[in-house]
Structure 1
Amino acid sequence: MEFTHIFGELFIGYFLLLLLTKVLGKTQITQITTFDFVSVLVLGELVGNAMYDAETGIKEIIYSILVWGGLIYITEFITQKFRKSRQLLEGKPSIIINKGKIDFNELKKNHLDINQLQHLLRAKDVFSITECAFAILETDGTISVLKKSAFVNPTKQDMNLPLDIISLPISIIQDGEIIKENLPRVGWNEDQLIQELKKQNVQSHKDILYAEWREGSPLFIQSYKMN
């Protein structure tokens, strides 16, 4: 009965957490703030601790997750509707480098040291603080950087070069399997895809690890065997 009880709690908790993440949105993962981090930890603890508590049943797990999820949902709703509440509940970005100068007070306020700042800058391909004009520490802990003009790569527009067409690449084959739902997006059917493969001396799509279509470019094909 103990194993059945644990299985039931895990099963119910799994689907409730899955449902809750769908309702709350992707920001719980992709743009996690301090509040989001705490809320996710608590959700995990509610299920984890209840698993090994004999006095806690499925009803208590459902109730706890729904109440905590409801509180998070209300908080997210408030921050969306009332702009002034965002600073209190989510925090605000901090300018830690301003006009090329490190703002020590902002570093101290955000509990950052120089080594941590350098690490964040390197993640943005800035290997010297002298290259940076502005750096903003976002609420999710990432950093946004604006380089000084002398260190910004020139664009095609700057060099008066013709601009290429920007298109989204579309996966056509993955792991030897045709992604049929993507074929209409490129205006192909399976027969047309096979013909394109034969043009590149590929006899079967099952030999392909990955194939990608992009407008204005030939079909990119990567077989299982590296040539």
Structure 2
Amino acid sequence: MENLLPIFLDSVFGFIALFLLVKVLGKTQITQLTPFDFIAALILGELVAGALFDKDIGIVEIGFSLFLWGTMLFITETITQKYKGTRGLLEGQPSIIIRHGQLIREEMKKNNLDINQLQHMLRAKDAFSIQEVAYAILETNGTVSVMKKSTYQQPTRGDLNLVPEAARLSLTLVNDGEVIWDNLKEANHTEEWLEDELKKQEVNSVKDVFYAEWTDGKDLFVLPFVRRS
């Protein structure tokens, strides 16, 4: 029981100190954290959590650690604000993942981003097909900003008083040179059909396809590998 009071005091002090530190450093939202901010948050939390169960560490030590780390964070933020050249190193840089409707495979590999992850982020931006996207930019906080092709931008069919069309979900049939057999079956198509559709677009083999997407009522959307000379 005698250990409860020190833990209580350390917890309250750590909470207040972290709260004030966040207020001083800025109002960055959790969804806007850069990799550097994320590391800083982990370390600050670890400093307080570790101190709670270390009998040799008290309020003075916690306060000093938070002050020291907070000072380094403040200096770093000041440097990035004053010297723009340091932002790329400390905060990262946005990456263009889709340009002119084409997937940039090199940028995806550099950011450890696969097709499934990209599709998930695009759907969160109301882009349910890669065909709809003119540009997609992977931001430094891990989110994706999307600019749709003009065909898929507002106004909507309702704005133009047009007859509504049935919603159609796109299916990925080829990903990085491999056929997604479950999706091909879901689309009620065969391997022969897929090969014929690829040949119509002058693609000789599935292995030459980086990405292929099928939507009912539309032609097969194919992005072949871009061979650099």
Residue 76 (structure 1) shift: 0.7
Residue 28 (structure 1) shift: 5.6
Gaps of 5+ in 2: 161-229
Give the Cα–Cα distance (whole angstroms) in 2 for the partners of residues 130 and 63 of structure 1: 54
The answer as to whether partners of 1:20 and 1:69 remain within 8 angstroms in 2 is yes
Matches within 5 A, 1:39-58: 39-58=40-59
Residue equivalent to 1:222: none
The answer as to whether partners of 1:126 and 1:132 remain within 8 angstroms in 2 is yes
Residue equivalent to 1:98: 99
Asked if 1:68 is matched to 2:69, the reply is: yes
Residue equivalent to 1:34: 35
RMSD value over aligned CA atoms? 1.4
The answer as to whether partners of 1:133 and 1:148 remain within 8 angstroms in 2 is yes
Residue 154 (structure 1) shift: 1.8
Per the alignment, do residues 28 and 63 of structure 1 end up closer, same or farther by CA in structure 2, a change over 3 Å counting?
farther
Equivalent position amino acid for 1:141 in 2: G
Matches within 5 A, 1:74-223: 74-154=75-155
Residue 30 (structure 1) shift: 4.3
Q: Percent identity?
A: 57
Q: Deviations over 1:87-138 (max 9, x none)?
A: 0000000000010000000000001000000000000000000000000000
Give the Cα–Cα distance (whole angstroms) in 1 for the partners of residues 153 and 29 of structure 2: 33
Tell me, what secondary structure is at the counterpart of 1:95?
strand
User: With structure 2 as the length reference, what TM-score do the two structures score?
Assistant: 0.66
Gaps of 5+ in 1: 160-227
Give the Cα–Cα distance (whole angstroms) in 1 for the partners of residues 30 and 66 of structure 2: 18
Aligned length: 157
* Structure 1 outlier segments of 4+, above 2 Å: none
Q: Deviations over 1:112-171 (max 9, x none)?
A: 00000000000000000000000000000011000001111128xx98xxxxxxxxxxxx
Give the Cα–Cα distance (whole angstroms) in 2 for the partners of residues 145 and 121 of structure 1: 7
Per the alignment, do residues 35 and 88 of structure 1 end up closer, same or farther by CA in structure 2, a change over 3 Å counting?
same
Give the Cα–Cα distance (whole angstroms) in 1 for the partners of residues 29 and 86 of structure 2: 18
Give the Cα–Cα distance (whole angstroms) in 2 for the partners of residues 83 and 44 of structure 1: 29
Give the Cα–Cα distance (whole angstroms) in 2 for the partners of residues 10 and 69 of structure 1: 18
Equivalent position amino acid for 2:145 in 1: S
The answer as to whether partners of 1:92 and 1:138 remain within 8 angstroms in 2 is yes
Residue equivalent to 1:3: 4
Per the alignment, do residues 126 and 28 of structure 1 end up closer, same or farther by CA in structure 2, a change over 3 Å counting?
closer
Residue equivalent to 2:172: none
Tell me, what secondary structure is at the counterpart of 1:111?
coil
Give the Cα–Cα distance (whole angstroms) in 1 for the partners of residues 66 and 101 of structure 2: 47
Residue 11 (structure 1) shift: 1.2
